[in-house]
Structure 1
Amino acid sequence: MPVLRTPALDLAFRDTGPAGAPAVLLLHGWPDAARGWDAVVPALVGAGFRVVVPDLRGTGDTVFRSPATLRDGTAAALVRDALDLADGLGLERFSVVGHDWGARAAYQLAVVAPRRVRCAAALALAYQPRGEFSVPSFALARPFWYQWLMFLDAGVEAVRADPVGFAREQWATWSPPGWWDEAEFTATARAFENPAWTDVTLNAYRTRFLPGEPRDPRHDDVRAAVAATERVGVPVLVLHGGADACDPPVTSEGLEPFFDEHRRVVLDGVGHFPHREAPGDVARLVLEHLRRHGR
């Protein structure tokens, strides 16, 4: 797997398809890995797109260059990594498709780099105007137990003691039973053995509501741009699983006023990992979006 050196990372990625074709970045979510896109990539490449799939920071073969670098897991850091990757590959313009964490980064890329992002697609996560986190209703807070756990020192210790077991609980509960098998989880979980995976995970969640959690100031420009922008001017496709038990589809309803161009599709019977659970539907819908906006 090739590696691109950025200011913070040795960033591993897969690059498939013609070098001169319209480029698409596929950004995976948490807890997942680049291999989660494997069933979608061939359709995009076959349709004439160049597909670039990075290991997000702290995942798989992407490693921090310095032990002194803060293991910032916020969306702003993921946005900067994606832009560094695009710069390093000479991609002046590109489309972006993201799942979960990758979806949040895709929205924010569309906000901070509208002249570079042709279009965006977001799986399983609603847009957050200005990037603001708010405490959800009690009903919606219930499936977020894993987040509240990480706000406690004892919870942090538990996650550090068994990060793969922690990830397994999310796979076991976020989608209808039977969507994954042990072999695939084991193969994916190798990406969670990255020495920075737990630190990046903890930082990503603890910074949401714990004001004392550190953030890398190198990404403050991204944070400021997101905080100053409410409306997305880039065409966006939202794909949400109708059976998502982590972020139910109600969370992405009624957000049309925040987009210049927006299409939302709910996939019946699909949980939190649409690209894994219904790759054919996801590839078809994403390709429709890319053919219209991504060339």
Structure 2
Amino acid sequence: MAGAQAKAPFGDVRQVDAGVLNIGYVDAGPADGAAVILLHGWPYDIHSFVDVVPVLTAAGHRVVVPYLRGYGTTRFLSDDTMRNGEPAAVGLDLIALMDALKIDTAKLAGFDWGARTADVVAALWPERCRGLVSVSGYLIDGQASGKVPLPPKAELAWWYQYYFATERGRDGYDKNRRDFARLIWQTASPKWSFDDATFERSAAAFDNPDHVDVVIHNYRWRLALASGESQYDEVEKRLAAKPKITVPSISLEGDANGAPHLEPSVYGKQFAGQYEHRTVGGGVGHNLPQEAPQAFADAVLEV
């Protein structure tokens, strides 16, 4: 693909108290437009959507792009709150943000952690989701599945998950956040030629004081090596049952995604409503909205 150059960043990042967080977010487009919420993954940030937002606002949408917990300007309101990365907690962050912004329902779209979060809300609170765009499809799972061995090739692709399970891995990630993120960008999107300015614009989000704790907990929780918080147990129980997603949905996959992912034929049955899968060609990797913004925006507009 052609080299990706850093473009002008979003406007001012706003802040709002929502649940256990003070969330940093971009709010673009007409205030009375139909809402769209875009959710980034790891190790990325809100700038994955820098070229998607103008397309959606030009179509009349209000577009909200929050920093997830542990990224950018999002902060915990209390020093005593566990720096928890489990899926239920992040999903309820999204519900809390919608409540704080008085958004009753929205189209939800994301990739990586963001896709999982959008899937969680679409599955358990479908009344809050008018439509779903999920890169790599259905990403809901429980801790029990994290205990099941995978074929060696799949285990190799998850190398960093096992690295993070060690204290050496935690310390290594903390000390080498930028080098680590750059490596993941390169391996997850092997045909994406991003420049240094593009990378550094997003890498600043990893300077968040809670970033390492949240990331490490997320991956340890997924391997059942760390506990979550009891207030999320009931939600996690519901998610472990792999609830169907009934809202209108489009799943997307880049044809050159180097990150671990399943084939649509495996997860397609989890979408019980109107559903379509699209493979985006041209050497598109894991960070699909930044590598193929028009294809991502089109899916959001059409879902």
Give the alignment's TM-score, normalised by structure 2.
0.89
RMSD between superposed Cα atoms in Å: 1.7
Which residue does the alignment assign to 2:196? 182
Aligned equivalent of 1:148: 162
Residue in 1 aligned with 2:129? 117
Gaps in structure 1 of 5+ consecutive residues: 290-295
* Corresponding residue to 1:214 among 218, 221, 227: 227
1:169 to 167, 170, 183: 183
More divergent stretch after superposition (218-227 vs 50-59)? 218-227
Gaps of 5+ in 2: 1-12
Determine whether 1:9 maps to 2:14: no
Contact 1:78/1:105, CA 8 A, preserved across alignment: yes
Shift of 1:224: 2.8
**Residue 227 of structure 1: how far off its partner (Å):** 2.7
CA contact (8 A) 1:97 1:120 kept: yes
Question: Contact 1:151–1:206 at 8 Å: present in 2 too?
Answer: yes
Q: Deviations over 1:123-165 (max 9, x none)?
A: 1454336685444322122121111111122212211222222
- Report the residue type matching 2:260 in the other structure: D
Separation of aligned partners in 1, 2:301 and 2:142: 28
Q: Secondary structure at the match of 2:25?
A: strand
User: What's 1:293 paired with?
Assistant: none
* 2:209 is aligned with 1:195: yes
Query: More deviation in 133-142 or 84-93?
Result: 133-142
% identical equivalent positions: 33
Match of 2:239 in 1: 226
Once the two structures are superposed, the pairs formed by residues 122-133 of structure 1 within 5 Å of their partners are 122-124=134-136, 126-128=138-140, 132-133=145-146
* 1:37 aligns to 2:41 (yes or no): no
Q: TM-score, normalised by structure 1?
A: 0.91
**Residue type matched to 2:91 in 1?**
V
Deviations 1:209-250 (A, max 9, x none): 134x131223234223323453111111111111111124x4
Structure 2 residue aligned with 1:23: 35
Asked if structure 1 preserves the Cα contact closer than 8 Å seen for 2:107 and 2:300, the reply is no
Q: How many residue pairs end up in the alignment?
A: 287
State the one-letter code of the partner of 1:38.
V
Tell me if 1:86 matches 2:112: no
1:196 Cα shift?
0.5
| Paired residue type of 1:154 | R
| Contact 1:3 1:11 survives alignment (8 Å) | yes
Detail structure 1 runs of 4+ shifted over 4 Å in the superposition. 129-132
Deviation digits for residues 35-82 of structure 1, max 9, x if unmatched?
Answer: 111100011111111111101101000011112111111221111110
Equivalent position to 1:96, from 84, 108, 132: 108
Q: Which residue is equivalent to 2:77?
A: 65
Partners of 1:129 and 1:160 in 2: CA distance: 27
Which residue number corresponds to residue 8 of structure 2?
none
